[in-house]
Structure 1
């Protein structure tokens, strides 16, 4: 059983870690480039000492990594199970795409920093690829369920899901900058996905 002092120390570290994470998020949300978000800048914004920082995180990359986990937690709230529904309606798909884009916009500063760091740091690149891969794997499962028994089913839904997931990541990262572009991207993604999941070989325009 932990001593009282140990419990107090752990809670203080957790509180300090939250302050550091929120301070880093504020700096990124304010438009600060990741390269300029040094440990010193984070300390000044969070109002904590250097010793406190290193008691919570080994370096800046670890802070960004923790923010990555938080910023991608929404993927569990945006269910893609509708993709498996044989009675899927276009309106449902539209709302799903809007939800994904909306969550991306809400976390854009951090997600942009993650992508920037992933291009330079192998550890972050692996973590980001794993996170995106989990989304692709879930999507592949929904697509398999939807296409189960269909003579038009593709040979490998996993690659289709992976390609679409990374396409969504690039579109959100590169094209979503305001309300207008967010709606346009969401509807474009919905159109692409709708045509993919409802495809039937030899079907005419009215079928």
Structure 2
């Protein structure tokens, strides 16, 4: 089973002083990422902007990459909720196809809402083993759930199965990630507002694999 990504705190009786500081650091980093590349942000920038000491930052996070990993927990929790809905088998073919296209619209929307953070995540994953491990674990969960969904659909429609569902799912998830990364980097750099047709194109590929329809 993949290990869960850390998330921002969910307060049930009011945040403690430590929780407030931790959230302040995370929010400060996310704000800085809207105007600066991850590689150019120093821990001193975060602490100075947040108005706390450098030792305070290290009390909560061993590195700025670890802080990015903590923020990613919330984003991937949102994506996981969408995936959970999509992997539930609808009663009719039309319902299942609608679920697929709606899910991709939601997933692309979530990634774009956090475009600067997601671009930073890719940067952090290239240099930080912990962030890379968390990201890989989450992608593995997507692939595993998708493989189950592919097998379910083939069995429900009583059609001859194609390649191994797990191998196929990993290729498809990898395709999604590469396309989403390009889109996020384009948005984060200010080059564009994103590809308007991205969600439909990704869903179309999955639609052809699952349903074999036009």
TM-score (norm 1): 0.82
Which residue is equivalent to 1:109? 116
Q: Deviations over 1:131-184 (max 9, x none)?
A: 111111111121122122634112411111111111111111113545561x30
Q: Deviations over 1:21-77 (max 9, x none)?
A: 0000001122x1111111101012212122221222222122111112122121222
Q: Deviations over 1:109-136 (max 9, x none)?
A: 1111111121222332222111111111
Q: Structure 1: any 5+ residue segments left out of the alignment?
A: 1-9
Q: Deviations over 1:68-95 (max 9, x none)?
A: 2122121222135445336233443222
Matched residues, number: 190
* CA distance in structure 1 between the aligned counterparts of 2:134 and 2:80, rounded to whole angstroms: 17
- 1:29 paired to 2:37: no
Is residue 20–residue 42 contact of structure 1 (8 Å, CA) maintained in 2? yes
Is residue 139–residue 173 contact of structure 2 (8 Å, CA) maintained in 1? yes
Query: Which structure: larger Rg?
Result: 1
Is residue 136–residue 162 contact of structure 1 (8 Å, CA) maintained in 2? yes
- 1:199 paired to 2:203: no
Is residue 124–residue 132 contact of structure 2 (8 Å, CA) maintained in 1? yes
Is residue 80–residue 142 contact of structure 1 (8 Å, CA) maintained in 2? no
1:2-21 maps to which residues of 2 (within 5 A)?
A: 11-21=16-26
The Cα of 1:11 is off from its aligned counterpart by 1.9
* CA distance in structure 1 between the aligned counterparts of 2:44 and 2:58, rounded to whole angstroms: 12
* CA distance in structure 2 between the aligned counterparts of 1:46 and 1:180, rounded to whole angstroms: 30
Which residue is equivalent to 1:6? none
Which residue is equivalent to 2:9? none
Change (3 A) 1:82 1:17: closer
* CA distance in structure 1 between the aligned counterparts of 2:171 and 2:153, rounded to whole angstroms: 18
TM-score (norm 2): 0.79
* CA distance in structure 2 between the aligned counterparts of 1:172 and 1:180, rounded to whole angstroms: 9
Q: Secondary structure, in 3 states, of the residue corresponding to 1:78?
A: helix
* CA distance in structure 2 between the aligned counterparts of 1:81 and 1:148, rounded to whole angstroms: 19
Change (3 A) 1:190 1:154: same
* CA distance in structure 1 between the aligned counterparts of 2:86 and 2:50, rounded to whole angstroms: 42
C-alpha RMSD of matched pairs (Å): 2.2
Could you tell me which of 135, 158, 161 is aligned with 2:166? 158
